[in-house]
Structure 1
Amino acid sequence: MKREGEPAKPSRPHSAEVERAIRAHRTLSAGNRTLLRASDERELLEEMCRVIVEVGGYRVASVGYAEHGEEKGIHVMACVGMDLAVLQALPLTWAEADTEMGQWAISAAIRTARPSIGRHLLTEPTYASIREYAKRAGYAATSAFPLRVGDEVIGALCILASEPDAFDEAEADLLGELADDLAYGIANLRMRAKHAEAEKTIARMAFYDGLTSLPNRVALCERLGDTLHDAKPQHRPLALLVVKMGQFHEINETLGYKETDRFLQMVSARVLPLVREPQMVARVGEDEFAVLLPDANAEHATRFAHQLLEVLREPIDLLEFAVDPWASIGIALFPGHGAEPAALLRRASAAAGQAKHSAAGYTLYSGNPDKEFSRRLALMGELRGAIAKNELRLYCQPKVDFESRHICGAEALVRWQHPRLGMLSTGEFIKLAEHGGLITPLTHWVLEAAFRQSYAWDEAGIRLPLSVNLSAHDLRDPRLIDRIRGLFATWGIRPELIQFELTESVLMQDPEGAVDMLTRLKALGVQLFVDDFGTGYSSLAYLQKLPVDSLKIDQSFVSDMLANEDSAIIVQSTIDLGHNLGLEVVAEGVETEAVWQRLASLGCDTAQGYFISKPIPADAFGEWEQQSAWHPQG
């Protein structure tokens, strides 16, 4: 501590080692600030080299990236203090040190993944070829530091100094830290670039059709919404055209999806030249395109539709033969047909369906706003909520054995007691489920309810099988078997207490797939019924392949069999066919005693219908059974 009155001691100059450490530390600090500001990789490299030279006081700074070809070259990306073109012209390599340049600091750093420190340009034989140049330029020492990104050395940071003894241990450590920071900055910028590219890809997937590169339905509705927003205050009309391709499914079935894709791409190529902006054309469905025409009235829209059909009616050459697109066009107009994107698109699509039957091939949407559609849409949302909140009810309709006149089982049926509309018909909300993508959740609800009810019956001493209907969608569900197997495990129910019914028409949609799925269901030990038999036109040969136990004669034949001889023949033939194949036969729609007696005389095995009972709540079945005339003790 200096005493009062004592003269100040003169400060001693820093040693060269300390000065170099200070210089390196100053360079490191400035370099870290550069990392925070950089937004582009090349910008980062150039700015880091500038900081090293201008702030750190080094003579030259450069960054070289390793190339992974046979020659293992080094591409100089940035340089300050020397002409970049001069460095890039040098045959730099990081291959094995069998050449002079292969032994340079930058080469060694990349090859060994370790710093190459304090190389003397004026004395080392390795640098003999540039010694005179180094003397004139004032370069005396060089060091290079590897740049690691992950587990890979992507290149090296090379620094030249004017002092022969530069790059002592403390200075080299700080500069090595700077190189590590630079590598981190490079990795970070590359990651950000990948994220940005991924976001672009996601955005393109969200708003563009991958096959035709046209905007998709989402993008069209967004563009249509913007156009409507501009048109409304200025009272300008617009038209939306939907083009439906009539040959789509035939091409797909005949030539396969690759030719179908080519077909759609060629349609797209024909439509685009007719519009002012590519964004005005979109692919909005499997076989549907849409064209937005701002400032277009009915006359303009129909004129454009006629022009478009002229182009699309020319045959399209595919690999095997030329096909006629058979396009039809529907037109919806703002404000006459709607003021919202979804409404205009829906009505233009509906008009395109109508245009198939018009001589012109195009038609304007006609009719009032679709109130029935709005009602159905609202019901879809309410049905989804009813399934999720367990608001549906399980009903069942008993089956009776003809010979014993005793109850021998029941069919599970789902009912929806709507809080506002009352009991909705099953047919109505099943169609809602199909259109709203709710069939799978609905099937899951029915399966769970049926297994739970079967367990409750078994606990109450009711040993009757309960049958569940499966749809075509259910048969295509790869998780169906595992779900059913899980329900058997959960409730501990014997397989003979659960049965499954599949309509003949469903089985005929995909015969091979149906056989496979029925075989897997049968392996669970359950009984299988072909429902609505007689309506699906299955052949005897196909029927023999199905691992089923029973046929259910469609009620349309049963209810009409006393009045219609053709129906009576079909019923009798089905009973004989079923028995000849070793199958039991169930008659649906038995509503009178006379029909019952006729079926009994024909040898039918089981009856189901209003003559026995209407569908009743499943939880009331036990009480009904005890009081029923069909009960064994009745």
Structure 2
Amino acid sequence: MTELEGVTRALRTLSAGNHTLLHASDEQELLHDMCQVIVDKGGYRTAGVVYAEHDENKSMRWVEGIGVDNAFMKALHHTWADKEMEIGHTAAATAIRTGQPSVGRHILTDPAYAAPAYAPIRECAIKFGFAAVTAFPLRMEGEVLGAMVVGAIEPDAFGEEEVKLLGELADDLAYGITNLRMRINQQVCEATIARLAYYDPLTELPNRTFLLEHLRDAIQTAKQQHHALALLHLNIGRFRELNQILGYHAGDQLLQQLAQRLTHTIKKSDTLARVEESAFALLLPSGGADYAVQVAQQLTLVLHDPIEVAGLLVDPRVNIGIALFPGHATEADVLLRRANIATHEASPARGGYAFYTGGQEQECTRRLSLMADLRQAIEQNGLSLYCQPKVDIASRRVSGAEALVRWQHPVHGMLPTIEFIKLAEHAGLITPLTNWMLDAAFSQSYIWHEEGVERALSVNLSAHDLYHPLLIDRIQGLFSTWGIRPEMIQFELTESALMEDPAGALETLTKLKKFGTRLFIDDFGTGYSSLSYLQKLPVDSIKIDQSFVMPMVTNSDSAAIVHSTIELGHNLNLEVVAEGVDSQAVWDHLAELGCDIAQGYLVSRPMPVEQFSNWENEWARMPS
């Protein structure tokens, strides 16, 4: 074979190999197809791939081959160690050991290959009909993964240029393997995040988030098809007492056994979820009061027998509350809440279950009244600006704070934030509420600046805010009005809000970034976003959701996802903030993992902005 002919077939092989890379979806498939291309398109006699093991014997694992007997090759005792009388002097072993291409020509006639160390090479050459062989290292992330081996009929094959081109093919193959593995790891990570976000790790049942989403869909279907549905709330009595006396492990055992009993009882069309520490909920997507009673009675019988926990027989005393759509509520969270309220009326004397009986008119009147009061509070500056510190874990230096809104109602007292946020959503007050927050945050930042304090303050933006056409203009106007340096105002956006309209979110974030401000993805891990999409966002930080951070010391799954998220963030050159840091153990674990910023009750609960300076002084005096 002339040198030109060798180069020509190598180029042909390289072109066909690149085409194969573009269509590969599985690693074994990629190896098989690449070997097939080398033989069929390139005209070589054999092609194969071996992987290097890092065991005591430095074994080589034959993975795939075309033109050879794969069973025969796998049965050989391959090694890439430099050992006499073993297959350590093959081209593949040499390529793995040295990290350089290894070429062997005239295998059947060269006296050098008559040495015992090369006997396996000659045996394979005779058996599979090749007279020259070359192997190329497959490099992945700085290490040699294995080798690509090519055999040719011509004893003088593999000239310098041909080897160079085939080396490019080997590099392309290594890249393809790396890319496929990264893709699989990404899919596994995303699946793990999704499972932790939607499933309870203890019982492996869907969690409250999953149930509410599923319940919303079921309600929408019920509306369209004009039928009723029922939601049962199952509260476990004396659960805290059990934890206090027998320990949390006993409580976990009780929950797991109850979950198993319930799972074996319900229909496949029903949805069972763990919605609170000691409560389950069961969605019956079709059926009214009569059917709900039948199911409740059946569950009462199933849960009647005691459960053995920590060597004791425990009576779980489960009370069941029932709420119906549309009679009791037309919204998922309200239906769940009212089913929970009904459990307080349930008792063994009443069969262990009870229906919700609260007055709907009274509830609606209260909500309407609160909506009007909230509008007035926004217009008359009746809200309060709170903030929660963020602290650098390594230096314990205060790195900024998150701006929060609180509402002290003149009659009902301090209302839960989530409650009046939902009121704002229903009353169309989200934009006025956000505008109040922006005004308050910029004003406070200016006050701190006048006091000689440079302290970053972050503001949360909802999905509604993110896609509001006037958001950017308003923020630009506030920067102009107050003359605040861009880095002093930051913005936090939940992952779920970003995923509602990825293209629109990217456009808004890009405009916000032009101000020079820092951007955070809040509640990271709960919105099931694509990691490839994350790479495109002009964000500076991700905040790991507290549902993963808080249990990470005692829950290996949570610890694993926090660890992987920190690595992911740092690999993308992002700062990583951990929410829900409520104990020293969690702080220490995060420090070991290299997390950047901590936020949580261990540092401080949210406080009125007027108290922040005093708190910061006290924090600075605390021993590290």
TM-score by length of 1: 0.60
Distance 2:239 2:104 in 1: 72
Residue aligned with 1:354, SS: coil
Contact 1:109 1:116 in 2 (8 A): yes
Residue aligned with 1:479, SS: coil
Contact 2:269 2:285 in 1 (8 A): no
Cα displacement (A) at 1:327: 0.9
Distance 2:406 2:59 in 1: 77
Which residue number in structure 2 is paired with residue 91 of structure 1? Answer: 77
**Which of 20, 37, 42 matches 2:23?**
37
- Paired residue type of 1:322: L
Contact 1:379 1:432 in 2 (8 A): no
Distance 2:107 2:231 in 1: 74
Q: Does 1:232 align with 2:223?
A: yes
Contact 2:49 2:62 in 1 (8 A): yes
Q: 1:157 to 1:244 in 2, by over 3 A?
A: same
Q: Does 1:479 align with 2:604?
A: yes
Q: Does 1:22 align with 2:8?
A: yes
Which residue number in structure 1 is paired with residue 52 of structure 2? Answer: 66
Cα displacement (A) at 1:486: 6.1
Contact 1:380 1:436 in 2 (8 A): no
Distance 2:61 2:124 in 1: 21
Which residue number in structure 1 is paired with residue 235 of structure 2? Answer: 244
What is the correspondence of 1:417-432 to structure 2 with a 5 Å cutoff? Answer: 424-425=409-410, 428-432=412-416
What is the correspondence of 1:535-550 to structure 2 with a 5 Å cutoff? Answer: none
Contact 2:67 2:128 in 1 (8 A): no
Greater RCO (CA < 8 Å, at least 6 residues apart): 2
**Which of 185, 200, 203 matches 2:191?**
200
Contact 1:243 1:288 in 2 (8 A): yes
Q: 1:351-402: per-residue Cα shift (whole Å, max 9, x none)?
A: 1122258632210112343326635875897699689x785499xxxxxxxx
Q: 1:378 to 1:317 in 2, by over 3 A?
A: farther
Q: 1:377 to 1:106 in 2, by over 3 A?
A: farther
RMSD: 4.1
Which residue number in structure 2 is paired with residue 374 of structure 1? Answer: 367
Q: 1:25 to 1:268 in 2, by over 3 A?
A: same
Q: Does 1:176 align with 2:178?
A: no
**Which of 187, 197, 212 matches 2:203?**
212
Contact 1:27 1:51 in 2 (8 A): yes
Q: 1:297 to 1:91 in 2, by over 3 A?
A: same
In structure 2, list runs of 5 or more residues that go unmatched.
387-404, 423-436, 452-598
Q: 1:43-78: per-residue Cα shift (whole Å, max 9, x none)?
A: 111111011111111000000111222232222211
Cα displacement (A) at 1:146: 0.7
- Paired residue type of 2:199: Y
Distance 1:481 1:203 in 2: 29
TM-score by length of 2: 0.61
Q: Does 1:266 align with 2:257?
A: yes
Q: Does 1:187 align with 2:151?
A: no
- Paired residue type of 1:152: E
Distance 1:380 1:101 in 2: 83
In structure 1, list runs of 5 or more residues that go unmatched.
1-14, 395-415, 457-473, 496-519, 525-634
Q: 1:476 to 1:43 in 2, by over 3 A?
A: closer
Cα displacement (A) at 1:101: 1.1
Distance 2:264 2:248 in 1: 25
Q: 1:244-280: per-residue Cα shift (whole Å, max 9, x none)?
A: 1112211222223222222211111111111112861
Distance 1:85 1:61 in 2: 15
- Paired residue type of 1:487: S
Deviates more, 1:213-222 or 1:194-203: 213-222
Q: 1:430 to 1:302 in 2, by over 3 A?
A: same
Cα displacement (A) at 1:476: 5.2
Distance 2:224 2:143 in 1: 60
What is the correspondence of 1:143-154 to structure 2 with a 5 Å cutoff? Answer: 143-154=134-145
Q: 1:340 to 1:417 in 2, by over 3 A?
A: closer
Distance 1:38 1:250 in 2: 57
Distance 1:295 1:83 in 2: 59
Q: 1:111 to 1:130 in 2, by over 3 A?
A: closer
Cα displacement (A) at 1:322: 2.5
- Paired residue type of 1:342: D
Contact 2:90 2:121 in 1 (8 A): no
Q: 1:80-113: per-residue Cα shift (whole Å, max 9, x none)?
A: 1122212112221112322331111111111222
Distance 1:381 1:120 in 2: 89
Distance 1:133 1:237 in 2: 73
Which residue number in structure 1 is paired with residue 309 of structure 2? Answer: 318
Q: 1:108-137: per-residue Cα shift (whole Å, max 9, x none)?
A: 111222211234421313443563663464
Cα displacement (A) at 1:297: 2.2
Q: 1:392 to 1:85 in 2, by over 3 A?
A: closer
Contact 1:245 1:287 in 2 (8 A): yes
Distance 1:21 1:276 in 2: 66
Residue aligned with 1:222, SS: helix
Which residue number in structure 1 is paired with residue 331 of structure 2? Answer: 340
Which residue number in structure 2 is paired with residue 552 of structure 1? Answer: none
Q: 1:133 to 1:257 in 2, by over 3 A?
A: closer
Distance 1:121 1:143 in 2: 11
Which residue number in structure 1 is paired with residue 431 of structure 2? Answer: none
Distance 1:200 1:417 in 2: 36
- Paired residue type of 1:360: G
Contact 2:51 2:147 in 1 (8 A): yes
Q: 1:453-507: per-residue Cα shift (whole Å, max 9, x none)?
A: 9x99xxxxxxxxxxxxxxxxx99552369999961499xxxx9xxxxxxxxxxxx
Distance 1:432 1:134 in 2: 78
Which residue number in structure 2 is paired with residue 52 of structure 1? Answer: 38
Cα displacement (A) at 1:144: 0.6
Which residue number in structure 1 is paired with residue 65 of structure 2? Answer: 79
Q: 1:489 to 1:342 in 2, by over 3 A?
A: closer
Cα displacement (A) at 1:287: 1.4
Q: 1:178 to 1:380 in 2, by over 3 A?
A: farther
Contact 1:481 1:521 in 2 (8 A): no
Cα displacement (A) at 1:320: 4.8
- Paired residue type of 2:84: D
**Which of 280, 284, 290 matches 1:293?**
284
Q: Does 1:134 align with 2:118?
A: no
Q: 1:484 to 1:261 in 2, by over 3 A?
A: farther
Distance 2:382 2:313 in 1: 54
What is the correspondence of 1:380-529 to structure 2 with a 5 Å cutoff? Answer: 391-392=383-384, 424-425=409-410, 428-432=412-416, 478-479=603-604, 487-488=613-614
